[in-house]
């Protein structure tokens, strides 16, 4: 202890000792929480941070025999090659259209489904709808794409139904212009139930007093939905929108690749499928790494921009 004027101030070493003892005490009380956090932290470190070492092959003429360090440094050669290639415009256009279309169609529907289920008076019907809408999420992408081909074939269940209505069969999988609609709306069908869970949980946390007060004032269901429920889920919706904006360039590779046919290639060839074909099938590792890095940089810029815009508009952001 030492004295400054009339105030007694503890020594710095004693302050450090007391802080360390507090940290140790808190760790003993909450160590189980750190155990729960450890697996995802290890997952992120091993599968997301360690591979960052390999980013440098995007700036090299990588040859497996020479290794990453031994390969020749070429700078931005592969980026320039991609920007000047005739594939660049079509790949970027297809990726953006498919992603923005998926976001515009798939983002509001889970919110509407959550609101509808929240006002459903029949528990059995509510459980049935939840089960039916949740189930497609658990179907693997490979199986789901196989089901799409079967259902939309010339003699599939969809065309069989159309023929019952007197409509001629439609060649869904043989016309390139149908690809985007099939990709997006099948994705909406597959994910709307699962995506609605977080909104249903948010609506469950809304105070019943607000609804009771609105009922006393004579508010209709639509008014309660618009003035009570929607404002309560806006913060959650904005956060999810920001996260989705950061994935705009990452259109699902598996589904796009599995639904590709020689007929629809002009619409279905996106950056992720092109990276797979050039990197894995053609063994152009450096070129594909450069394309993938460009893709991730665009995602990062979009994430930062949307987050900053959302913070300015309504004060809601990731950080």
Same domain, residue pair 22 and 101: no
- Report yes or no on 3 lying in a domain: no
Same domain, residue pair 50 and 20: yes
Same domain, residue pair 158 and 276: yes
Same domain, residue pair 167 and 194: yes
- Report yes or no on 86 lying in a domain: yes
How confident is the model at residue 8, as a pLDDT? 54
Adjacent-strand bridge partners of 11: none
Structure confidence by residue, pLDDT tens digits, 144-164: 999 999 999 888 899 999 899
What are the average pLDDT values for consecutive 10-residue runs of the chain, which has 319 residues? Answer: 50 61 78 88 90 88 85 89 89 90 90 90 89 91 92 89 88 88 92 90 87 87 88 87 79 86 89 88 87 86 82 75
Structure confidence by residue, pLDDT tens digits, 251-288: 778 888 999 988 888 898 998 889 888 888 888 889 98
Q: 212 is in which domain, residue-wise?
A: 76-314
Adjacent-strand bridge partners of 72: 61
What is the torsional sign of CA 196, 202, 207, 210?
negative
Exposure string of 280-311, with b = 16+ CB inside 10 Å and e = fewer, is eeeebbbbbbbbbbbbeebbeebbeebbeebe
pTM of the model: 0.81
What's the residue count for the chain? Answer: 319
Write out the two tokens for 136: 């497609």
Same domain, residue pair 35 and 122: no
How confident is the model at residue 2, as a pLDDT? 46
Same domain, residue pair 276 and 216: yes
Same domain, residue pair 111 and 122: yes
């Amino acid at each position: 202890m030492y004295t400054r004027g009339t105030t007694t101030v503890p020594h710095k070493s004693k302050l450090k000792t007391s802080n360390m003892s507090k940290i140790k005490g808190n760790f003993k009380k909450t160590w189980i929480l750190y155990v729960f956090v450890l697996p995802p932290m290890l997952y992120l470190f091993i599968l997301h941070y360690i591979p960052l070492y390999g980013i440098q092959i995007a700036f090299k003429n990588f040859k497996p025999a020479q290794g990453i360090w031994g390969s020749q440094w070429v700078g931005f050669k592969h980026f320039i090659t991609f920007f000047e290639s005739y594939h660049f415009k079509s790949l970027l256009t297809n990726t953006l259209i498919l992603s923005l279309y998926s976001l515009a169609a798939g983002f509001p529907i889970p919110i509407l489904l959550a609101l509808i289920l929240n006002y459903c008076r029949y528990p059995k019907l509510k459980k049935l709808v939840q089960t039916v809408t949740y189930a497609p999420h658990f179907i693997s992408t490979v199986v789901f794409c196989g089901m799409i081909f079967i259902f939309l074939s010339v003699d599939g269940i969809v065309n069989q139904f159309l023929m019952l209505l007197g409509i001629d069969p439609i060649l869904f999988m043989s016309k390139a212009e149908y690809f985007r609609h099939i990709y997006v709306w099948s994705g909406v069908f597959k994910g709307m139930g699962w995506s609605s869970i977080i909104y249903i949980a948010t609506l469950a946390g809304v105070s019943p007093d607000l609804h009771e007060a609105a009922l006393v004032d004579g508010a209709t269901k639509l008014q309660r939905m618009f003035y009570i429920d929607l404002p309560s889920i806006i913060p959650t919706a904005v956060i999810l929108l920001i996260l989705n904006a950061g994935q705009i360039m990452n259109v699902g590779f598996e589904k796009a690749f599995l639904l590709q046919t020689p007929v629809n290639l002009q619409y279905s060839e996106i950056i992720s499928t092109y990276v797979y074909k050039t990197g894995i099938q053609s063994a152009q590792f450096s070129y594909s790494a450069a394309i993938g890095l460009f893709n991730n940089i665009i995602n990062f810029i979009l994430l930062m921009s949307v987050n900053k815009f959302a913070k300015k508009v309504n004060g809601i952001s990731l950080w």
